[in-house]
Structure 1
Amino acid sequence: MADTEELFARFRDGGAHCAGGKRPVFSGLVLNEKGLERAMAAGVEMLCMGVSASETHSRKNTGMGTDEALSQILSMAVKAAAAGKTVQASVQSAFGCGFEGTIPRQRVLGIVAKYIEAGVSNISLADTAGHAHPAQVEDLFGAVRALEANVSLACHFHNTYGLGLANCFAAMRSGVRILESAFGGLGGCPFTKVAAGNVCTEDLVHSLQRMGLCTDIDLSGLIDLAKDVGLYFERELPGFILKSGSLVRPKASA
């Protein structure tokens, strides 16, 4: 991204904070060694990197097979950690692939094991094509937790078959506490044409707050912003809350 340095400077100097007063952690996706160098120079706090468990998807996405891509990611993770950066490593296509179908469980766990051996303590499983279902989510995250109990787990789901939110809750039952989502339900995958957008942040936050869980996110502000973005781009965003309205009522001021 050409303006990475300017963007993160604005994040860093803009005084952004969550509704609860906490300062957010800004992360960035790095795809190669050059991207890693630029991200570290720009002051990115959490460096996200990953490899696809699908050989076909990996080659289409990076031009490398899974093993070659994994070798590069492990090298990058070690360099980032040595520079004092937080690293999150992901396994893409962990729950299925639009090209290869079902991905063998042991292939995913093998990649996770390599991450753990390299000292990575933040690991995300990504459902790139949106094939996951809740029982599969609980099973795979349970298997990852059995490998190493002390890793911080994250999930990344697409809503291709309408199971994104259900999969998030299944991940939570498995001990996952970092739920990745996309503002307005935007996103997708250029190499997996049927993949819908990511789980919608507004819908996820609304569901969590309805369950009585604290997110430190200003839901009403998020909804208003999503409406403005939809108007700006003259398109209807896919989130449900934008259409049905929120059932979460703002707390009265003390």
Structure 2
Amino acid sequence: MPLYHDEAIVLRTQKLGEADRIITLLTREHGRVRAVARGVRKTSSRWGSRLEPFTHVDLQIAEGRTLDVITQADTRAPYGSGLGADYERYTAGTAMLETAERLASEDKQPMLQQFLLLVGGLRAMAAGEHAASQVLDSYLLRSLAVAGYAPSFDHCVRCGDEGPHKWFNPSAGGVMCADCRLPGSAAPSTGAIVLLGALLTGDWPIVHAAEPRHLKEASGIVAAYLAWHLERGLRSLAYVER
């Protein structure tokens, strides 16, 4: 079988038979890949721990007819070892993995930007320099933007008029002026809109200075925007502390 090498983040694992696992990966060069890891559930396996969710790995993979087969794995960064001891960061990280899997292509198309974004997000989550919910919300907005669903928080999405604007509509793609407002649009506070723009661009001084009520309001808007564009919400988001 032809071999290829790539680096990846482990998104999810599933049991297969008595000793194997199916590993879902977001790779640097081949998009989303599902591959079999033979014998990793055996107690004698020396590399099963390298294929746990959150792990950044270098892989050698053999192409297969239905599923590829992982033949070698070397750990680059075991982000899961740090996140597993903190419930808030672990659940937020799980939501990041689920988002990456949902947004990634199913036909091995290159997903370099999504891959680099996920690596950076997990690194920031494990470092603990920002609150877990802030890292998650920033990652969700940026991953949607990379996927082609970039929200606008400073210009009206219909007429382009420069803000600030009072109304926000997930289906329209961002803020709207009073003349363009669609029925059912929300009216977030100005502080929440400014915060959302900062989360999207990574302006952490503004994020850190935000009031708790604006952080909570912004998180609700991010969740609604994500659910609209993914057509359903994330299962893991229900466990994230907001």
TM-score (norm 1): 0.22
Larger Rg belongs to: 2
TM-score (norm 2): 0.23
